[in-house]
Amino acid sequence: MGSDVNFENRVKALTFARGRVALAVILRALDVREGDEVIIQAFTCIAVPEAIMAIGAKPIYADIEPDGFNIDPAAVESAITDRTRAIVIQHTFGLLADMAPITDIATRHKLPLIEDCCHSFLSKFRGEYVGTIGTAAFYSYEWGKPLICGVGGSAYTGDDKLAKAIANIRSEFAESSVLQDMQLALQYRVFSILYQPALFWWLRDTFRLLSRFKLAKGNYSPLSANDVSPDFSMRMARTSQKILDRKFAYIHEYAARSREITASYSERINSKQVTHPQPLADTEAVYARYPLRVVDKDALLDKARTARLEMANWYVSPIHPLEKSEWEKASYTPGQCPNAEQRCREIVSLPVNNKVDDRYVDAIANLFANSL
Ligand SMILES: *Cc1c(COP(=O)(O)O)cnc(C)c1O
C-alpha cells in the first residue's frame, strides 16, 4: 500500500484462521457482546453472520440497493435499534458501497463501521483505499480471493488502541497443528498447479466432494450457535502466513491485471440482456470477480459448463450457500430483503486473475453473443 507501511504491517500481523475469525475478533475488541445486534447486508456469505453468531451477537440484515450488490444506506438507517453495536459494510466483488451516506449514518449514531474487504484490497473511495475508511476492516485469503494463501484472514484498523486490543485477543489464540499446516500446504499447491479457467467446473466439483469427506478444508461450516468452530480461537496457519508474507506485494500486480481484464469484459460483452456493474462516482473498483446481471442465469451457466468456461453462480442465496430452509438459522426471514433475493437469481461472475487470457475472453464474449 504505497501510502502506508503501517497498513501492510498490521495486515500481516493481525492474522487469523479465516477472514470470519478476524471479523469476530474485531467485534470482541469493540466490546460487542452477547445479545447485541450487528447490521450486515443480505447477499453475503455465511462467513459474516457466522462470525457475529460465534460471539453470541445477532446479525440484522439490511437489503441491498435495487440495482446493485451493496447495502442500501436507507436500509442501514432503518435497521438501527438501541441494541445495534456495529455495522459491517461489504464491498461486494470489489465495488464500493455508498460510503458517504453510510459514514454519515454511523457518525450520527456513534456506531463503528467495519469494512468487509474480502473481495478487494485496492478499490478506492475519493482516493482512499477500502479498509481505511471505516473503524476497522477484515480480509480473506482463501481460494477465489485476490490474494490466495490457502486459508486465512486478517484484521486491520488505523486506531492504535483497537489494534492493540485485537493483538491481545490474538495472543491467546492457538497456533495451527503440524497436520493442519501440511494439509493446507498441500491443498494450496494442488490448487495453484491445477487452477485454470477451463478446469473451473471440474475443480469445483472435486473440491466439494473432498471437503464433504474432510479431505480438504471447505469454505462452509454448519451454522449453529452452540457449536462454534474451533477456528474462532485460532491464528492463521504458519504455512499460509509464510505465503502471505511473501506474496503481499502481489496485490498491486493483481490490481493491474484485474483492471485490464475487466476493461476487456466491459468492452467485449455486449447484449441487451446483460447489465454491467456501475461503480459509484468518486470510486474506483478493483474487482475480485467481474459481476454481471443476466436474464436467464441457469441456462447461461449450463452453457458455460458445457463449454468448460469459468462462470461462477455466487451468491446463490442471500446467505450463501444456505438453502431457503436454513435461512432462519442465520436469523434471516425469507422475503425480508427482496433486492438481495432478486440479485441471487440474476448474478453470474467472471474471473479476473492472471490465468485469464485473450482466448478465454474471446470464448466468453462469444458465449454471451450466442446465448442471449
Ligand atoms: C470470503 C469472504 C469472507 C470470509 O472468508 P473466510 O472464509 O472466513 O476467510 C467474508 N466476507 C465475504 C464477502 C467473503 O467473500
pLDDT tens-digit map of 37-64: 999 999 999 999 999 999 999 999 999 9
The pLDDT of residue 6 is 87
CB crowding 20-48: b at 16 or more within 10 Å, else e:
bbbbbbbbbbbebeeebbbbbbbbbbbbb
Q: Is 134 in the pocket of ligand 1 (CB under 6 A)?
A: no
Indicate which atom in ligand 1 lies nearest the CA of residue 219: 7
Give residues with Cβ within 8 angstroms of 80, minimum separation 6: 39, 105, 109, 111
> Is residue 160 packed enough to be buried (19+ CB in 10 Å), middle (13-18) or exposed (0-12)?
exposed
The pLDDT of residue 1 is 47
- Distance, CA of 14 to CA of 203 (rounded, Å): 31
- Distance, CA of 334 to CA of 233 (rounded, Å): 32
Intervals of the chain under pLDDT 50: 1-2
Helix/strand/coil for 85: strand
**Residue to probe by mutation, ligand 1, list 20, 219, 349, most atoms within 8 Å of CB:** 20
- C-alpha torsion 119→350→48→252, nearest 10: -10
The 3-state DSSP composition of the chain as helix, strand, coil percent (nearest 5) reads 45, 15, 40
Q: Is 184 in the pocket of ligand 1 (CB under 6 A)?
A: no
Q: What is the pTM of this model?
A: 0.95
Indicate which atom in ligand 1 lies nearest the CA of residue 44: 13
- Distance, CA of 147 to CA of 288 (rounded, Å): 10
- Partnered with residue 2 across adjacent β-strands are none
- For strands 136-140 and 113-116, give the pairing: parallel
